[in-house]
Structure 1
Amino acid sequence: MSNVLSILIAAGLGLPALSLAAEALRRSPSPPAQLRWAPDIPIQYVEVNGIRLRYIKTGQGPVLVLLHTLRTQLDLFEKIVPELAGDFTVYAPDLPGHGYSDIPDAKYDAAFFADAVEGFLEALHLNGVTLAGVSIGGAIPLIVAARHNPRVARVVAINPYDYVQGRGMARSSLLARLVVMAAGMPVLGETVMRLRNFFIMKNILEGGVSDPHSIPPQLLKEMYLTGNRKGHYRAFINLLRNAGSWQTATNDYARIRVPALLLWGSQDWARPDEREQDRRLVPETEMATIERGGHFLPLDRPDEVVRHLREFYRRHSPRLAS
């Protein structure tokens, strides 16, 4: 019995050490000089609240700012940015701790991300903004609108991540459920994150689309490599441990006074009653569902996302030509 206990203790101590070694051996990728999917769109950087954010700007017309999901980056919108650029001046940043933006030592809760987005709008002097995004990027526009930010004229929340205390990702797959569970445990959470691999990431992301083929293989590879940046896994686990803050933020949704659209994929992780809860909380909101769409809707049904964004803008501003 004592031998078995000794083996278990040794294994328990050895795994964290092994994970630290694995993390130390990871090669941090260099920021790309251009976008794989749109080499003509320049990559730019701006400092916001002491944090350097990567972003892109393209197109012409009214301002549309796109915010990506947790654990992804601005390239999530590669299928819709070229289409939207014909009607809008499109901005898409990497959120702090994501993509190639800085990874600060911070509390990665809802308020932190909302502050960063408000700082982004201010730093670039953007006004009359349509603020749209997916997942946490969908909840941020609602939070910013509830703050009555004068730069924001309308918001679109695509599959907002503001239910079940921020554990919606656990509904992606069995592996996702295990990762979310482990994230809440000291030492074990860090160990699991340091032992991450491409298969685990791919499995979780594919659980967020109705058709796994809708995620370009090159995008999967890019996002996996981005996750090897120094400190990236710490930011992600911090986000997961503060995920309940997204649901807490819904307490302020009743203060929203600008036009709002809730756009859901029929196969999103949120359940019907959780979607209806947002509809009840946001005053006079519009709500629509895109069939055969999962959580990462801009990858699953890009044409439908573009259509809804255009039509929503037209309904609330006649200046966009038909």
Structure 2
Amino acid sequence: MSNVVIFGLVGFVVVAAAIVPLSLLVEAMRPVPRTPERLSWAPDIPIRYVSINGVRLRYIKTGKGPVLVLLHTLRTQLDLFEKVVPELAKSFTVYAVDYPGHGYSDIPAAKYDVDYFVGTIEGFLDALNLHDLTLAGVSIGASIALILAARNNPRVSRVVAINPYDYAKGRGMARSSFLARLFVRAAEIPIIGETVMRLRRFFVMKSALDGGVSDPRHISPELLKEMYLVGNRRGHYRAFLSLLRNAETWETATKAYSNIKIPVLLLWGDRDWSRPDEREHDRQIVPGAKMATVAKGGHFLPLDRPDAVVEHLLAFQAPLVRKASS
């Protein structure tokens, strides 16, 4: 082996060894955002908290009518629904919640897999004693809703599953952009995944989220900034890393969809990360499911096409809304 090669390998090892402690220092110096007392987009809606198995979850409740629970995507928060909540609150009692490790909920040391998220939302419904409700989720939120339905949760009467995240071994986010693909692949590698997470930059997250809408202007700069800064909360990057490393469990969970016995609407954006055959797979295994596709809609459909989300929810829920108003 030549001296050049030897010196090159030594140099690589030295640089690699230096990057890990540097990433730890960068993470320690990140400013932790203050937990907001009000929603910037709806200051009149009070922010509430509830403890589920010792984990404090942030949530909101607004409106009047049949109960509608909104479940957000991975790496976002309840503010994903900022464009639809005000309109939906005219017809429903709307709840939206931050998962553990997301938004301003607690960030426990846990295995962030399907069972953990599903169990947490099941506990949330129990703690608030919600009945005869509709679960409307996006991405992993859609998958959580479908799994709860498959487990015949007695509190859930209908499901609106928007762009379910249950394909490609849970790595659909890698289809968002080139940077997202690199980020997802790096997350799978021990030590490197942690290091990359700690050295994260705004433009990487923006690239992934922009790839989830048909038009980047549909995500406000304020929401992008808040979701990025939320990632500075202590332990947040580890929770997200755990979610990515347990991503395959979302696809595995589809095996239970055939047990669903309640009405289901599968709602897709035509520019979602999923492929036609993956969408058709869900339609075939969910008994009696209705399916609709929204034009010019990406993965984050409530931001991209809030009008269509509201329209489909109202149409799907029309019998319940009429009953409540009569």
Q: What TM-score, normalized to structure 2?
A: 0.97
State whether residues 30 and 232 of structure 2, in contact with CA within 8 Å, keep that contact through their aligned partners in structure 1.
yes
* Alpha-carbon displacement from aligned partner over 1:133-165 (angstroms, at most 9, x marks no partner): 100011100000011000001001000000010
Match of 1:153 in 2: 157
Instruction: Compute the displacement of 1:27 (Å).
Output: 1.3
| Amino acid aligned to 2:262 | V
1:197 aligns with 2:201: yes
Q: CA RMSD in A?
A: 1.1
- Aligned mate of 2:29, from 25, 42, 45: 25
In structure 2, runs of 5+ residues without a counterpart are none
Match of 2:91 in 1: 87
Runs of 4+ in 1 over 6 A off after TM superposition: none
Match of 1:217 in 2: 221
Match of 1:207 in 2: 211
* Alpha-carbon displacement from aligned partner over 1:118-144 (angstroms, at most 9, x marks no partner): 100000010011001100011100000
* Alpha-carbon displacement from aligned partner over 1:237-286 (angstroms, at most 9, x marks no partner): 00000000000000000000110000000000000000000001100000
State whether residues 71 and 98 of structure 1, in contact with CA within 8 Å, keep that contact through their aligned partners in structure 2.
yes
Match of 2:101 in 1: 97
C-alpha distance in 1 between matches for 2:167 and 2:324: 34
- Aligned mate of 2:122, from 109, 118, 136: 118
C-alpha distance in 2 between matches for 1:39 and 1:280: 42
Instruction: Compute the displacement of 1:315 (Å).
Output: 5.0
SS at match of 2:18: helix
| Amino acid aligned to 1:117 | I
State whether residues 314 and 320 of structure 1, in contact with CA within 8 Å, keep that contact through their aligned partners in structure 2.
no
Match of 1:256 in 2: 260
1:283 aligns with 2:316: no
Q: Percent identity among equivalent residues?
A: 65
- Aligned mate of 1:55, from 56, 59, 66: 59
C-alpha distance in 2 between matches for 1:214 and 1:31: 24
C-alpha distance in 1 between matches for 2:179 and 2:299: 17
State whether residues 71 and 236 of structure 1, in contact with CA within 8 Å, keep that contact through their aligned partners in structure 2.
yes
Instruction: Compute the displacement of 1:316 (Å).
Output: 6.3
Between Structure 1 and Structure 2, how many residues are aligned? 322
| Amino acid aligned to 1:191 | T
State whether residues 87 and 320 of structure 1, in contact with CA within 8 Å, keep that contact through their aligned partners in structure 2.
no
Match of 2:78 in 1: 74
| Amino acid aligned to 1:15 | I
SS at match of 2:309: helix
State whether residues 259 and 316 of structure 1, in contact with CA within 8 Å, keep that contact through their aligned partners in structure 2.
no
* Alpha-carbon displacement from aligned partner over 1:17-61 (angstroms, at most 9, x marks no partner): 111110010111111010000000000000012110000000000
| Amino acid aligned to 2:219 | I
Q: What TM-score, normalized to structure 1?
A: 0.98
SS at match of 2:123: helix
State whether residues 98 and 104 of structure 2, in contact with CA within 8 Å, keep that contact through their aligned partners in structure 1.
yes
SS at match of 1:319: helix
Match of 1:176 in 2: 180
C-alpha distance in 1 between matches for 2:258 and 2:198: 40
C-alpha distance in 1 between matches for 2:46 and 2:145: 25
Match of 1:141 in 2: 145
- Aligned mate of 1:237, from 218, 241, 252: 241
| Amino acid aligned to 1:155 | V
| Amino acid aligned to 1:289 | T
C-alpha distance in 2 between matches for 1:46 and 1:320: 27
C-alpha distance in 1 between matches for 2:235 and 2:87: 34
- Aligned mate of 1:310, from 302, 305, 314: 314
C-alpha distance in 1 between matches for 2:323 and 2:75: 35
State whether residues 66 and 321 of structure 2, in contact with CA within 8 Å, keep that contact through their aligned partners in structure 1.
no
SS at match of 2:184: helix
* Alpha-carbon displacement from aligned partner over 1:216-243 (angstroms, at most 9, x marks no partner): 1100011011011000000000000000
| Amino acid aligned to 2:60 | I
C-alpha distance in 2 between matches for 1:317 and 1:279: 25
SS at match of 2:61: strand
Match of 2:299 in 1: 295
Instruction: Compute the displacement of 1:88 (Å).
Output: 0.2
